[in-house]
Amino acid sequence: MNSAGKHTEQQAVPMAAEEKEQEKLLREKIASLPKEPGVYQFRNDKGRVIYVGKAKNLRSRVRSYFSNPLQQSGKTQVLVTHIRDLEIIITSSEVEALILENNLIKELKPRYNINLKDDKTYPWLVITAEPFPRIFITRNRTRDRSIWFGPYTEAGQLRTILDLISSIFPVRSCRHPLTPENIASKKYKLCLDYHIHKCKGPCEGLQEEGDYLEMIGEIVRLLKGKTAGLRRDLHEKMLTAAEDLRFEEAAEIKLQLDSLKRYSERQKIVAADGADRDAVAVAIGEDEACGVVFRIREGKMLGSQHFILTNTKGESEATILGRVLETHYLKTADLMPDEVLLPELPEEEAAEALRALGREQQGEGGRQKEMRFTVPQIGEKAHLLDMCRQNARHHLAEYMVQKQKRGEAAREHSGSKALAEALHLENTPNRIECFDNSHLQGTDYVSAMVCFVMGRPLKGGYRKFKLNSFEGSDDYAAMEEAINRRYGGSLSKELPLPDLIIVDGGKGQVNTARKALDALGVSVPVIGLAKRLEEIFIPFTPDPFNLPKTSPALKLLQQLRDESHRFAISYHRTLRRKRTLQTELTAIEGIGEKTAFTLLERFGSAEGVAAATLEELAETAGTMKAETVFNHYHSE
């Protein structure tokens, strides 16, 4: 065995002992977990959170990951192999655990959690928390005492609802702060809305706040889909006003009833029993999924909402359904129905958390009811679920078309997927990092790293290194230092690990990179790509191999290699230019860095400046500075 082999073998013993100690500590932590509800976070050997989950019973749930591996999905099995530590947060209820888990996933974006496309730009309808509340559309949701409805996927749908509300109810449209002091001082005057009967003039005290708030309560009922009771109450108010000879008020209520009737008739009736229920279905692609929620209140379809999820490969339909349900009801807890129609039952953990959320949102004195999860097989409910599933397929197909137009799908499947097949990788390398070194006869040694995600450059992931741990020309030492600084220093916490590492070079460079990665405990695959014959080198393999010239995998590798070479050369030239400025031109008395840079741009190098005529220098730097530079190079 050679010396390098002995060195590797000697290192393996303490590393194995360290891993056993970590496993022992992890088992002890799991054994001491409480049986309370809460959130758990799994961490890898770098201390990064790679998965966040919730549990009704923390001990039972966490233990389930480490028993019966054959019954787990492939994704879960891979997750377990990377778990080195865990943290828990105990909560007082399942609802708190559900909300906390959702917040942590958004903040930490763990690698093995399903990613939900954020809907922060979707519009909401808000009823403000102020005297004489206003109603308007906004895309910026704030945590205040206002009443929020949404998010809505289509702004047009929301504007239609707002127009309906204004046609039925005289809600003020002004932005005046209608405090009792402002109203009493007659600070604001009646506007056109009052004269065309769109507002009752609360700004001048012509409408009592109690009457206005009662109207707001009716609007809330309308937005929640409770139109039957609202129509009944308005009808009674109309009759009472007519009996009291308040005919003008009765006529206004009659107009409201007519508008409400037309609105109700436009809604599609999907359930003859008039029940409140939601229908939820998902369409699942290779690594994406789409969930759709139909909202049915009093037997009428009020609208739908869809969610795009990524990183779903290997997840079951029940898991994805659970994620869609949790996300939807955390945002719209005040609209939770009695029944949810599903293609299959969600995981029990998710179902229990949603039932707990439903119980909590009823509040004290509320009617105690359990949310039912139903899997219909025939009849009207099954037909509704089929329609929901068709919508999910449509939205997923639409998302994939848009993704392909952006070039993401084509690159991912033609380049990254072909690369995974050619290199026999377990997973598609969506994030790839490539290194290239540059120097001039051993001076100004630099290394540059570029990053491609989904086959496209991610400029925010680029890094450059000025190498200084060795002297002279040593490509292997340069490669080792670059790998150590990227995956062993502060950058290892700043940037996520890639799925594949590429080094520009042959057998020696790729073996050096692999040894450096092993010493750091990084198990990411690494390959080398030689420039001359486009040969691909695998660590510690004697012979390279070639890919077909038309292969999308080779084209992606060439793009990465060429971009890293461009980035490295650019950085190297910058360092050379700075050194030239500091050691030659800026040493001339009276010549600053700006003038030196201008001269270098014009003549290319310090030698070009020295060879220039006085007239040429004057054209670039002016007469006085030209004479200074010319005399410096031409004096005896």
Band the pLDDT of 4: cuts 50, 70, 90.
very low
Is 363's pLDDT higher than 60? no
The pLDDT value recorded for residue 2 is 47
Is 424's pLDDT higher than 80? yes
Band the pLDDT of 335: cuts 50, 70, 90.
low
Pairing state between β 300-310 and 115-116? antiparallel
Bridge partners, 278 (sequence order): 295, 340
- 307 CB contacts (<8 Å, ≥6 apart)? 116, 117, 119, 290, 291, 292, 293, 324, 327, 328
Band the pLDDT of 529: cuts 50, 70, 90.
very high
Q: How many CA atoms lie within 13 A of 89 on its CB side?
A: 17
Residue 288 to residue 309: CA distance in whole angstroms? 6
The pLDDT value recorded for residue 87 is 86
How many CB atoms within 10 Å of residue 365? 6
Tell me the H-state helices in 48-93: 58-64, 74-82
Residue 293 to residue 329: CA distance in whole angstroms? 10
Is 304's pLDDT higher than 50? yes
**Residue type, position 361, single letter:** Q
The sign one gets for the Cα dihedral 69, 70, 72, 74 is positive
Per DSSP, the three-state class of 286 is coil
Give the mean model confidence (pLDDT) for residues 263-279. Answer: 64
User: Last residue of a domain, which of 405, 436, 454?
Assistant: 405
Buried b or exposed e, range 22-52, using 16+ CB within 10 angstroms? eeeebeeebeebeebbbbbbbbbebebbbbb
Is 631's pLDDT higher than 50? yes
The pLDDT value recorded for residue 271 is 54
Which of 114-118, 212-216, 400-404 has the least mean pLDDT?
114-118
Tokens at residue 50, please? Answer: 């790679």
| 102 and 130 together in one domain | no
Q: Is the model more confident about 426 or about 202?
A: 202
Q: How many CA atoms lie within 13 A of 210 on its CB side?
A: 0
The pLDDT value recorded for residue 15 is 47
| 80 and 191 together in one domain | no
Q: Is the model more confident about 139 or about 111?
A: 111
Q: Is residue 374 part of a domain?
A: yes
| 520 and 608 together in one domain | no
Give the mean model confidence (pLDDT) for residues 7-36. Answer: 67
Residue 454 main-chain phi, psi, to 5 deg:
55, 35
| 38 and 98 together in one domain | yes
Q: Is residue 442 part of a domain?
A: yes
Is 227's pLDDT higher than 60? yes
Is 213's pLDDT higher than 60? yes
Band the pLDDT of 73: cuts 50, 70, 90.
confident
Reported as type and span, the H/E element at residue 609 is: helix 606-611
The pLDDT value recorded for residue 121 is 57
Is 242's pLDDT higher than 50? yes
Reported as type and span, the H/E element at residue 465 is: strand 463-466
Q: Are 565 and 436 in contact (CB under 8 A)?
A: yes
Number of domains in the chain: 5
Phi-psi region of 622 (alpha: psi -120 to 50; beta: other; left: phi over 0): left
| H, E, C per residue of 467-496 | CCCCCCCCHHHHHHHHHHHHHCCCHHHHCC
List, for residues 469-497, the tens digit of each pLDDT value: 787 778 899 899 999 999 987 888 888 89
Residue 282 main-chain phi, psi, to 5 deg:
-130, 150
Q: Is residue 248 part of a domain?
A: no
| 568 and 512 together in one domain | yes
Angle at which helix 614-621 crosses helix 593-603, to 10 degrees, equals: 120
Q: Is residue 268 part of a domain?
A: no
| 447 and 567 together in one domain | yes
Which residue range(s) make up the domain with 53?
12-113
| 519 and 592 together in one domain | no
The pLDDT value recorded for residue 596 is 80
Which of 40-44, 166-170, 256-260, 287-291 has the least mean pLDDT?
256-260
CA distances from 420 to 77, 413, 573, 611 (A): 20, 10, 35, 54
| 360 and 459 together in one domain | no
Residue 154 to residue 235: CA distance in whole angstroms? 32
User: Last residue of a domain, which of 379, 405, 431?
Assistant: 405
Residue 313 to residue 311: CA distance in whole angstroms? 6
List, for residues 283-303, the tens digit of each pLDDT value: 998 888 999 888 887 766 666
**What's the CATH number where 28 sits?**
3.40.1440.10
**What's the CATH number where 350 sits?**
3.30.420
Q: Quick one: the chain helix, strand, coil %, rounded to 5?
A: 50, 15, 30
Tokens at residue 399, please? Answer: 């998302």
Is 413's pLDDT higher than 60? no
Q: Is residue 265 part of a domain?
A: no
Band the pLDDT of 520: cuts 50, 70, 90.
very high
Q: Are 203 and 183 in contact (CB under 8 A)?
A: yes
The pLDDT value recorded for residue 153 is 55
| 361 and 444 together in one domain | no
Bridge partners, 86 (sequence order): 42
**For the chain, what percent of residues have pLDDT higher than 90?**
14
Is 19's pLDDT higher than 80? no
Q: Is residue 262 part of a domain?
A: no
**What's the CATH number where 508 sits?**
3.30.420.340
The pLDDT value recorded for residue 107 is 76
Give the mean model confidence (pLDDT) for residues 131-159. Answer: 78
Pick the closest to residue 444 from 422, 428, 466 (CA basis): 466
Please state, rounded to an integer, the average pLDDT across all residues of the chain: 81
User: Last residue of a domain, which of 576, 605, 623?
Assistant: 576
Give the mean model confidence (pLDDT) for residues 192-206. Answer: 89
Q: Is residue 350 part of a domain?
A: yes
| 165 and 36 together in one domain | no
**For the chain, what percent of residues have pLDDT higher than 70?**
85
Q: Is residue 194 part of a domain?
A: yes
How far does Cα 117 stand from its chain's mean position?
6
| 362 and 444 together in one domain | no
For the chain, the first-to-last Cα distance in angstroms comes to 64
| 102 and 151 together in one domain | no
